[in-house]
Amino acid sequence: METTAASATAKAENLRSPRVAVAGVSGYAGGELARLLLRHPGMKDAAPLFLGRAGESASDAATTIEALHPHLAGISQQGNASHAVRSFNWDRLAGSGIEILFMATPHEQSREWAPEAIARGIRVIDLSGAWRLDEDANRAIYKLHDADPALAAKLQAEAVYGCPELHRDAIRTARLIANPGCYSTSMILALAPLTRAGVVDLDRGIVCDAKSGVSGAGKAPTSKTHFMYAADNLSAYAVFNHRHTGELLEQLHLTSDQIVFTPHLLPIPRGIMATIYLKLKQKTTAAQVGELFANFYKGSPMVRLHPTPELPQIQHVVRTNFCDLGFVLAEDGHRLVIVSCLDNLLKGAAGQAVQNMNVMCGFKEEEGLL
């Protein structure tokens, strides 16, 4: 009689390769998506279709993924074949039979394109902030304008926040996945086991001190990501006004006076460390806190839990799709410090997007990510 593991392996081997496209492959997250998909075992029968962003005038023959991202040369399952980057065109997607469209595009573009993709029967995994937020007050920071507000509101209502550890079941059948932000992923995964268990003293508030590498700001250079500004420096920014704050409020069911989040820019290329301070309602032991985390993340292969008092470090998660969590509980049994680390371009962006695709397609959640 076949074992459960053998049955799962056989099922995975029999799954058909989905037809996928990536719009916006020129950016950091788009490049990581290309790398993951080109090596993904589930893509062995059908290479992804790579597309530029709106306004990019890439010649269909002249631009390749390997030219945009030279480190991807030769990694494809098809050997040394190059992969053209096409201009974005809806007829091209239809002609290629695309079933899933990754959008590594600015939020304005994603907000415009997602309704068209859904109307054409294409499922969307959007890496921007265009569809992450349900409440108008939280979404206002993106200054979105919808050509058809009624249709946008309908799609917003069905959009699924793409955190598999929280919404795995809804992701399986979703037409529109809103990939979480990088900062918010690190903090939501650290806090969800505790807030959902109702053990946090919210009257005392939660403080999130998070630091990110420069790639979190995107590929387009700014005065704050210039080498002369970022190198040998550490700076806070967007205090009380960061775009990811609304995700914390909605996903953790908090109010703005119950949590403070301050982001900082680290002089490193990639990686996030979030240090979170809170108090527990009741006197608790470290074993009880550890049990809450272990039970919550049972069956979540992309979350690694460190035994207390060992704490995660950025160097251990860079270029992986893991989120590493650790904590230290004070002797009083009330004061708790949690440390969460992840790679902002992978678990905070492209890797989590592929993790969502795996759930949607019936692959193992960690397929192509280890």
Active-site positions? 182
Which residues have a Cβ under 8 Å from the Cβ of 254 and sit 6 or more positions away?
Answer: 195, 202, 206, 248
Q: Report the distance separating Cα 178 and Cα 163, nearest Å.
A: 9
Q: Are strands 235-236 and 259-265 parallel, antiparallel or unpaired?
A: antiparallel
Could you give the 3-state DSSP secondary structure of residue 104?
A: coil
The one-letter amino acid code at 31 reads G
In 3D space, the residue among 124, 246, 255, 277 whose CA is nearest the CA of residue 184 turns out to be 246
**CA 185, CA 321: separation in Å to the nearest integer?**
12
Question: DSSP character for 86?
Answer: E
State the Cα–Cα distance between residues 182 and 340, nearest whole angstrom: 12
- The secondary element (H helix, E strand) that includes residue 210 is strand 206-212
What whole-number distance in Å separates Cα of residue 65 and Cα of residue 47?
Answer: 12
Would you call 194 exposed, middle or buried from its count of C-beta atoms within 10 A (0-12, 13-18, 19+)? buried
Order of strands across the sheet that contains 235-236? 235-236, 259-265, 206-212, 272-279, 335-342, 323-329, 303-305
Enumerate the H helices of the chain as residue ranges.
4-14, 28-38, 65-68, 90-95, 107-119, 136-139, 149-158, 164-173, 182-197, 227-230, 245-252, 286-296, 350-361
